[in-house]
Amino acid sequence: MLKLYTYFRSSAAYRVRIALNLKGLDYAPEVVWLPTGEQAGEPYRQVNPQGLVPTLIDDDVRLSQSLAILEYLDERHPENPLLPPDPAGRARVRSLALLIACDIHPLNNLRVLKYLRGPLGQPEDAVNTWYRHWCEQGLAAYEAELAAGAGRFSHGDAVTMADVCLVPQVFNAQRFDVDLSGFPRLMAVHDACQALPAFARAAPGAQPEASDPRLGG
Ligand SMILES: N[C@@H](CCC(=O)N[C@@H](CS)C(=O)NCC(=O)O)C(=O)O
């Protein structure tokens, strides 16, 4: 069976959980406890030298980087494709996915926020301002992109890799109180995705570790 190193709040792992569900693939989750820094410890670095989740294990294949994993799953399991059939469509979907995965997410990753708080000595409100700035700027561009070419989902009326990236990014934005009221198209796509069982089952709150007592509250 496929094995996924994951953490409920990891939006990169969330992308992969959605894709696995869309493809109807069973997998064994292996939780990497990000709050205690398990991802940076030697045992997990043997699995993923970057010390980041997700990692997918498929027999003797070990893959990191969520977008590479999505493309791998799409090639191995072509049903419910994550990319459209035409080259221009595929390029557009990839560009929307990369807008999030390359130009929003890395700026706001846990290790970046920790570095701002720790070595750079930034107070919590400055860190949150940083977070919201990059998130809002990126999502504003996504919203503008949707003005040309959205349907029910980010690219027409079928779910694609773009939606698989968008929904976890909106989860992150909501967690950090980003004002999403100016992004009606993007939120309509988000809501349409959330109505699908594949997305609902992948949601952070639906993962068993979401109720782990170590999280408190
Ligand atoms: N580009 C990578 C990003 C992976 C990544 O940044 N994962 C985050 C969680 S969403 C992580 O493991 N962060 C741990 C840390 O920053 O220490 C991907 O798409 O898989």
Q: How far does residue 86's CA lie from ligand 1's centre (Å)? A: 30
Q: Which of 62, 102, 110, 209 has the most ligand 1 atoms within 8 A of CB, as the residue to mutate?
A: 110
Q: How far does residue 81's CA lie from ligand 1's centre (Å)? A: 24
Q: How far does residue 116's CA lie from ligand 1's centre (Å)? A: 16
Write out the residue limits of the CATH 3.40.30.10 domain(s) in the chain. Answer: 2-80+204-215
- The domain defined by 87-200 folds into Glutathione S-transferase Yfyf (Class Pi); Chain A, domain 2 (1.20.1050)
pLDDT in tens, 52-90: 999 999 999 999 999 999 999 999 999 999 999 999 999
Distance in angstroms (rounded) separating the CA atoms of residues 11 and 8: 8
pLDDT of residue 37: 95
Q: Which of 31, 50, 53 has the most ligand 1 atoms within 8 A of CB, as the residue to mutate?
A: 53
How would DSSP label each residue in the chain? -EEEEE-TT-HHHHHHHHHHHHTT--EEEEE--GGGTGGGSHHHHHH-TT--S-EEEETTEEEESHHHHHHHHHHH--SS-SS-SSHHHHHHHHHHHHHHHHHTGGGG-HHHHHHHHTTT---HHHHHHHHHHHHHHHHHHHHHHHHTTBSSSSSBTS--HHHHHHHHHHHHHHHTT---TT-HHHHHHHHHHHTSHHHHHHSGGGSGGGG-GGG--
How would DSSP label each residue in 35-75? GGTGGGSHHHHHH-TT--S-EEEETTEEEESHHHHHHHHHH
pLDDT of residue 216: 80
pLDDT of residue 187: 98
pLDDT of residue 43: 97
What phi and psi, each to the nearest 5 degrees, are found at residue 104? Answer: -115, -60
pLDDT of residue 148: 81
Cis amide leading into 43 (omega within 30) = no
**Of all protein residues, whose CA lies closest to atom 14 belonging to ligand 1?**
52
Given the candidates 3.40.228.10, 3.40.30.10, 3.30.565.10, 3.40.190.80, the CATH classification of the domain at 2-80+204-215 is 3.40.30.10
Q: How far does residue 64's CA lie from ligand 1's centre (Å)? A: 10
**Of all protein residues, whose CA lies closest to atom 12 belonging to ligand 1?**
52
Return the amino acid letter for 167.
V
- What pTM was computed for the model? 0.97
Q: How far does residue 120's CA lie from ligand 1's centre (Å)? A: 20
Distance in angstroms (rounded) separating the CA atoms of residues 42 and 59: 22
The b/e string for 118-129 (b: 16+ C-beta within 10 A; e otherwise) is eeeebeeeebee
* 102 Cα nearest atom in ligand 1: 1
pLDDT of residue 1: 94
Distance in angstroms (rounded) separating the CA atoms of residues 38 and 36: 6
Residues of the chain with pLDDT under 70: 150, 217
- Angle (CA) 172-28-111 rounded to 5° is 35
Write out the residue limits of the CATH 1.20.1050.10 domain(s) in the chain. Answer: 87-200
Q: How far does residue 10's CA lie from ligand 1's centre (Å)? A: 7
Provide residues with CB under 6 Å of ligand 1: 10-12, 34, 39, 52-54, 65-67, 101, 109-111
**Of all protein residues, whose CA lies closest to atom 17 belonging to ligand 1?**
111
